[in-house]
Amino acid sequence: MLLCDVGNTFLHFYHNGKIWKEKPYALSKKKENLPIYYISVNERFERCLLASHPYCVNIGEYIEIESEYKGLGVDRRAACKAVQDGVIIDAGSAITADIMQNGIHLGGYIMPGLSAYRKMCADISPVLDIKIEPSVNLSALPQNTSDALSFGAIKSVILMIKNTTRTKKIFFTGGDGKFFARFFENAIYDNTLVFKGMQKALEKHI
Amino acid sequence: MLLCDVGNTFLHFYHNGKIWKEKPYALSKKKENLPIYYISVNERFERCLLASHPYCVNIGEYIEIESEYKGLGVDRRAACKAVQDGVIIDAGSAITADIMQNGIHLGGYIMPGLSAYRKMCADISPVLDIKIEPSVNLSALPQNTSDALSFGAIKSVILMIKNTTRTKKIFFTGGDGKFFARFFENAIYDNTLVFKGMQKALEKHI
């Protein structure tokens, strides 16, 4: 059994404890007799997956969590399903934060991902078309444009997460999850969170 | 004498205590014998101004402040020049924060403006193409996509400003300055800040 999480940039795969990502238009050939159970937030990239493999099953409808939130994306539902108590931060193209308590989803919010920050700044002015610098000093006031943008992007995300998590345990996942996790004491990085949630749902339904 | 601040979206004008903004490609006719003293962060829009009026003087080089910051935009320098002590937040296409102490610029940072947040989210996914809702409740966890995005955008900006201003006086300016000012006790909104700085520079040089 192969699991796949179709995102807005990459397709993430999980098989026998290993995870890897592939670009939507350059998908590798998978064993024909191995079913792919997947979830998707991107219809176009989902079609790429369906075209590449004969046996794909969308298990989105199995990924259920208790929540008042309307329109919670299936990838967020899957990651939340893997956590009983804590805050889940998925730092990819977008950064989503979701709060779980006793297996119930209390709400969440969305911020742009770091690469989106960069693109956004470049769109405002060519002067601001600058790479986000991960090692920028967050304790001193920036003294140039590159630091000013990196400080604005990284520190605003960190302050938001600190403000809404307080003493709760934080589970980071996604491409920039490892980077952000190091700013928090009560954090772990787990890039299999979405797949853990998918497995949990599958155990119940298959 | 007419003052003009050429930005990345609008051209802002100041004359006899009145301010107004105009779109770059729909500039109104000004009195021919009235000189326009201007600063600009956008070359293309600057050319629109120059084409519309016979007597325009770029006073960018007069806008000097004491600072270690490399590449501080001329509009930020002008706003800073108007403030001896405090934090200047210019909330427009981008949101810039600059800290002044005893007339010296200590540093600053840059965040995306609210409209850039919206565009950025729409670029990530069509699902996230949603208007930022200014009246979103910032004290309760969001329960839908619109609130989740608005909460993420507005609260991250507010937390950043709170974290870097503490007890300092905050001077808000720019299109969204009035909106953000209401979240702070020690804040005033002054949409003439850039022009006050320009005037101060002109008094010295002309």
Q: What is the ipTM of this complex?
A: 0.89
* Interchain pair A112, B117: CB under 8 A: yes
Chain B residues inside the 8 Å CB shell of A117: 112, 120
Q: Which helix (H) or strand (E) holds B109?
A: strand B104-112
pLDDT at B184: 96
Q: For B28-51, what is each residue's pLDDT tens digit?
A: 999 999 999 999 999 999 999 999
Beta bridge partners of A2: A36
| pLDDT for the residue numbered A117 | 81
Please give the Cα distance from B129 to B122 (Å, whole number).
Answer: 4
Residues of chain B neighbouring A145 (CB-CB closer than 8 A): 70-71, 110
Given CA atoms A52, A71, A101, A158 in this order, what sign does their dihedral have? positive
Closest approach of B9 to chain A, Cα-based (Å): 9
* Average pLDDT rounded to a whole number, residues B180-202: 96
Note the helical H segments in chain B.
43-52, 74-81, 114-124, 145-165, 177-181, 193-205
pLDDT at B115 over 90: no
| Per-residue pLDDT at A136 exceeds 90 | yes
Q: How many CB pairs under 8 A join A and B?
A: 150
Contact B50, B44 (CB under 8 A): no
Check residue B185 and give its pLDDT.
94
The C-alpha atoms of residue B53 and residue B68 are separated, in whole angstroms, by 36
Residue B179, Cβ density class (10 Å: 0-12 exposed, 13-18 middle, ≥19 buried): middle
pLDDT the model gives residue B44: 95
Are A143 and B68 inside 8 Å of each other by CB? yes
The rounded distance, in Å, linking the Cα atoms of B85 and B63 is 18
Just give the CATH number of B2-58: 3.30.420
User: Is pLDDT at B52 greater than 90 in this prediction?
Assistant: yes
pLDDT of residue A106: 97
Best probe of the B interface among A156, A157, A180, by most B CBs < 10 A, is A156
Q: A194 exposed, middle or buried (CB, 10 Å; 0-12, 13-18, 19+)?
A: buried
Spatial CA neighbour of A194 closest among A29, A73, A67, A108: A73
Of the partner residues A42, A107, A160, the one whose CB lies closest to the CB of residue B143: A107
- Distance between B156 CA and the closest CA of chain A, angstroms: 5
Say if the Cβ atoms of B124 and A164 lie within 8 Å: no
Fold matches, A2-58 and A83-113+149-191: yes
Binning pLDDT at 50, 70 and 90, where does residue A8 land?
confident
Give the residue numbers of the binding site of A for K(+): 90
Looking at the annotation, which residues of A are catalytic? Answer: 75
Task: Write the residue in A97, A148, A159 that is nearest to B110 by C-beta.
Answer: A148
Give the mean pLDDT of chain B: 93
Tokens representing residue B29 in the block: 């006719």
Rounded mean pLDDT, B179-187: 96
Q: Which two tokens stand for residue B83?
A: 């403030």
- Active-site residue B75, yes or no? yes
B74-97 tens-digit pLDDT: 999 999 999 999 999 999 888 999
Contact (CB<8Å) B145/A108: no
| Min Cα–Cα distance to chain A from B122, Å | 10
DSSP state of B24: T
Contact of B43 with B53, CB cutoff 8 Å: no
Helix then strand count (H, E) for chain B reads: 6, 11
Q: Which of A46, A76, A124 has the most B C-beta neighbours within 10 Å, making it the best mutation to test the interface with B?
A: A124
pLDDT-derived band of residue B124, with 50, 70 and 90 as boundaries? confident
Which residues in chain A are closer than 8 Å to B124, comparing Cβ atoms?
8, 93-94, 112-113, 116
Residue A118 banded pLDDT, cuts 50, 70, 90: confident
- Segments making up each domain of chain B, as ranges: 2-58, 83-113+149-191
Beta strands in chain A (DSSP E): 2-6, 11-15, 18-22, 36-40, 56-58, 66-67, 86-91, 94-101, 104-112, 170-173, 187-189
Domain B83-113+149-191 has CATH 3.30.420.40: yes
pLDDT of residue B204: 86
Provide the shortest C-alpha distance from residue B7 to chain A (in Å). 10
Distance in angstroms (rounded) separating the CA atoms of residues B149 and B124? 12
* CB-CB under 8 Å, B94 with A128: yes
Q: What is the mean pLDDT of residues A120-148?
A: 89
Other Cβ atoms within 10 Å of B127 Cβ, number:
15
Cα gap B109→A165, rounded to integer Å? 25
Are A119 and B150 spatial neighbours (Cβ–Cβ below 8 Å)?
Answer: no
Give the C-alpha distances (Å, rounded to integers) separating A129 from A2, A123, A126, B140: 39, 8, 5, 35
